Every structure is written in structure tokens, then in C-alpha cells.
Structure 1
Amino acid sequence: MKFKKFDSTHNRPLRSLGATLRAVCSFAWLAGAAVCPAEPLVRVFKQDAVEVNVRIDPPAADPAKNTEVVVELAHPDSVAVTLPDDLPGRFEGFALEGSYVAESAQAGAATRRAHHFNLRPVPGAARHRIRPFAVRVKDASSHPPRESWFATEMIAIPAATAQETAPATVETALEPRYIRPSLRGIGRIALIALGAVLAAALLWALGSRIAFARKIRRMTPRERALRELAMLLDRGLPEQGLFKDFYIELTLVVRRYIERRHGIRAPEQTTEEFLTAAAAHPGFRAEAVLGLKAFLTAADLVKFAGVMATVGMAAEATTKAKAYLEGEAEAAEATAQAKEVAP
């Protein structure tokens, strides 16, 4: 007696059918969870025979979809119920996109009226809620009519979460990350830095000029002339063969000193005009005028007559100019002492 070998492939269709049924059931459960909407959020507030139903659908604020808020009033026919005019302003974290009032309907002994509000959740809002509002009631069944009011409570609307697993608020702890500036940003920074450097340099130069001008004003005419003479010698014009330029600058040092010291406009006068004015001025001694005449005449020969000067001649002219300045100082000091001694 022979037995046929058992072939397990005969049961494969049954196993495949079971797997298919399980997959279909799982899909149906997931689809039902995704398609079936969540129950609206309902809050009820009552006072005597007046009832206020607030229905919020969907129950969570989702920026991807609008939220519908329905405020339904139920009251007897003899009672008039009114809502505040600023009710749309009680929706915090929402933007009102439309509203309407449904017609009154009789439901037994009660009258129902529904106020519909179409709200758009504001992304990034700190909270979504409906602040309390006052409901005014006027009962005409009593004489005179009795007026009263009652307030609702705060209704907090949670934020929608992804797959009901994520928290309502996202908390992140991001570490600072270096972002390399663009070429335009680098250029702007460079221009700002260059402008700051130029402004600082300009302020420094201006401050230096002001400080130098104040220092010059505090100098005596002799100190200022000796400073100008030292600056002229530092330029080394005779050593460079620039004798004409040297004599022009040297005579200007002396002429400017005379203008500051005695008030004669020597830099703008010819030698003859200056000598005439100096001879008539009480502040000049006769020997000083003769020395100035010899000094200025020798300088004019180099400046205007084309006489070839040498380094030695330039040094001698410098000595005469310095001697005149020193002699002027000694003469001024002697005059001051004489005035002090005189009775």
C-alpha cells in the first residue's frame, strides 16, 4: 500500500485568503480612524429656562482647516435672548471669515436660534479660545418684564496634533549655527568699516588742526617766527639748490613776524614801502631798520635779480634773520625793564 506524499501547497490559498482578510480589516480600521471625524467640542450654559449651546467643529484648532463655531440659543417664546455685539471679538487666536444667523425654529415649547461663525485659526497664535461673554435675558411673562443676564465660561480650544501623538506645542533646543554672510553682506560691512575709518581719520585730522591752531595762538610772535624758521630749515631747500624758494620763505618769516609784532602789513608791501613804514614806526630802532634793509636787499637780489646764491650765503642770511628776532626780543625786554624802573 502506497501513500501519496503530502503537498503543503494545497493549503496556500487558504493562508493567502486569511492574510488578505487581515489586511483588509487593518486597512478598514485605519481608514475609519482617518475618515471618521472627531466629535465636536460642545459646551452648555444654562440659566432657568434659557440654554446656550456652543459647538466647536473640529474640536482642535488646525491651521490647515477652518473651525466652525455654532452658538445655539434655546428659550421659551416669552423670553428674548440677545448676544453681545462684540461676540466675534471674543474668538482669540482666530480670524473671522464669515458669519450668519439661522432662522428661528420652534422645537416644542422652546425657540431655537443658531449663530454660525466661520473661523480661520491663526498660525503661531499663543492660544486658541473663546473668552466669556454675557447673555442678556428679558422675560416678558412677568409684569413688568424682568431683565437679567448671565456669563459663559472660558472655552479653551486645543491645538491639533499630528496623529494625536505629537505635543500641542513644539519645543526645540537649537544650538547657534554659523551662517556665512553673502558677498553683498561682506561688501556692505566693508563699506561701513571703511566709512568708520575715514570718519575717524577726519575727526582726528580736524582735532589735530584745532589743537595746532590753539597752540599757535598761544605762542608769542617771536616763538611763532622761530618755529617757522626751524620748519624752513628742516626742508633743506639750499642743499637741494632751491635758493630762490629758500629766500622767499625766509623773508616771509621775518615779514610775518613784523606784522604780528608791530602791526605793519609787511608781507604785502615791497621792500621800499616796508622800510619807509618801519622808519616812521616808533617801535623800530634806527640800527634795526638798517639791518633789515641790508637783509632784505640781499634777499631781493637772489629773488628778483637772478644772483646765484650758495649754501654759505643762505646760512649767513639765516643767521641774520635769527639775530634780528633775538635782538627784537632783547630790545622788548629792555624796554619793559626800563618802564618798570621809571618813576
Structure 2
Amino acid sequence: MTPVYMPFTYLSAATAGRLNRLVGPLVVYQPVESGISEGLTALAADGGIDIRTPITRDDERLEAALAEFTQWARLNPGKTTAGAGFFSARQGEVPFFDESTINQIRSDIKNYGTPDAGSEPDDSEFSARLFLAVAQDNDRTTDGLDNDLNRFKAMEADFLDSLDGADEAGFNRHGAGGELWREDPGARQTIQRIRAWSTLALADSGLPNLLVTTSPAVVDTLQETFAETLRLDTLATIRMSLPDDPEVPPLNAVLSDLAGQVALSADALAPFTALAESAPDDAAVTVTLLAAVGHRPAAAIAAMARGAVLRGEENGSGQATRHTLILLVQN
């Protein structure tokens, strides 16, 4: 199978490495060809991800809109990143200035969230790409802050370990600073992320057939919003060890076979659930498998992009993929 990371256009090297060991290299979509981060470029060079930019028209217009947005962010005190103000806003509200150019950017970003049946496809695609570019900037900055916090926590732990008599003084060497809270990046503007990403994915002529996410909020939203439309079922949840650089990622072959089954019965799921095993917490992940039963990836993603109601699809015997599988991977 060909896995794709959704609904994000950015992932860290650590996340990519973890997912690679489970499902192999991932497709990662980009909203614009220029300005791809060094981190993603390095991952692609190492074979961990396949960067795809399905839509390339109107790039100059998109880059101009992004530059205008970034300039606005710099002029607003208290906004430390270009996307911070946008993602801290309440649903449906974007804190732009009232100047005509900024208002147009606001309109472009918001358009895809409540698609108009009469809108032009190019306008919907542009709005989706603009949103994803802003979201990516926010996600990349947040990941950098998380890395800084991790380094600080490691330094704090090393410092406490170096203190003589730390135990007698009541210091907790292993719980220094407590657990650092990490926000799920998919928890903000979730439905908009899903719709924007799906709009971009639909333009890919070689659409992947396994959707992979690390966001519980995204899965919750899919279940709340598309459960009936997509016949979305949660099939199983397992705890499994991360293999050490396997030549064949353990989930790939299992899920490829499962996606082609006529019925997703307990017997059909047995090879997946058999991967469950006891493992130390730091060497294992929790994997939840969902399926849009009877809907192939193109139809399922189209429904997520436009909120369309799918009609029944004929699953001919010649089709390798009968169901759209969605994988949630958590530490």
C-alpha cells in the first residue's frame, strides 16, 4: 500500500521515523512548490517521505497572499508566528486588519471551510492551499518549540543527576519538571484542515490508498462528521512494538490484504490483531484501525473535501482496494 500523512503538510523527523517503521515511506502533500522546509527536504532525500505538490497553478498569487499574511503578523505585537493569531481565533473568525487586501486573504482562507456549491473549483483549491500553507507554518514553529522544551527537560534531568544528595533533598530525578504537555496539532480548525487537505489530495493522479494520522482530534472529527456518510467503523486497536528498521514494514502487507477483502470480518482482521504484543511503553505505539467500508480512497476523500453524500459503489473483483483504511498512531 501507499500511505499518506493526513491532514497535515508537515511532520517532524521523529514522527516520520516512527511511521516509516510501521508502514514505510509516506506521501506528504505540499500546498506550494517553493519554500519547502529543509527538514522535509532532508526526509525526502533519505527516502522517508515522498513530497508531492498536486496543484501548482496560481503559485505567484498564493505566494503574494502568504507574504501579505506574514507582513500582517509582523505588524501585530504578541503574535510570535505567522499562524498563531489564526489558530488561536475562535472557529470561523480570523483576526485580520480591515484593509481590502487582508480582507481578501481572510475570504480566501475561510472559503474552503463552508464550500459554496456554485464556487469555481480553482477558487476552492486556492483557498485550501492558502489555509494549508498558514497551518504548515504554525505546525513547523510549534514543533520547533516542542524540540526546545525537550532539550530543556533533558538538561534539567542531567543537572539533577549531577547534584550530590539530590535524593536526600527530595528531588525527583525522573520527574523533573513534570510531564510536558503537548497539544494535538489537529485539535484546532480540525474540520477545515480535513477539507483543505482533502481538496489538495484529490488533485493527485496517483492517490495513495492508506490514510495515516497521529491526531486523535482528527479521528474524532471524522467519526462525528463522516461516520454515516462514509460508513466509518473502528475495527480494532492494538499496542505493538516498533520494529527495528524492517525491510518490509509489518503493517503494510497486512493492511494491503485487508483493504481488498469483501467483508471486514473478525477473521479478516486476525492478521492485524495478531501484531499486538506486550512491550515497554517507550518502545511501543498504540495503533487504531478504522475503515470507510465499501468506499475506495478517491470517493472517501472527495466526500471529506466537499461533504458530499456518497452513493453505493460497486466493488468489482478486479479492484485491489475495496475499503479506505485509516490508521491512527499514538505513543
Q: Which has the larger radius of gyration?
A: 1
Regarding TM over 0.5, the answer is: no
> Which structure features the higher share of strand residues?
1
The higher-RCO structure (CA 8 Å, 6+ apart) is 2
Compute the TM-score of the two structures, normalised by the length of structure 2: 0.19
**What is the TM-score with the length of structure 1 in the denominator?**
0.18
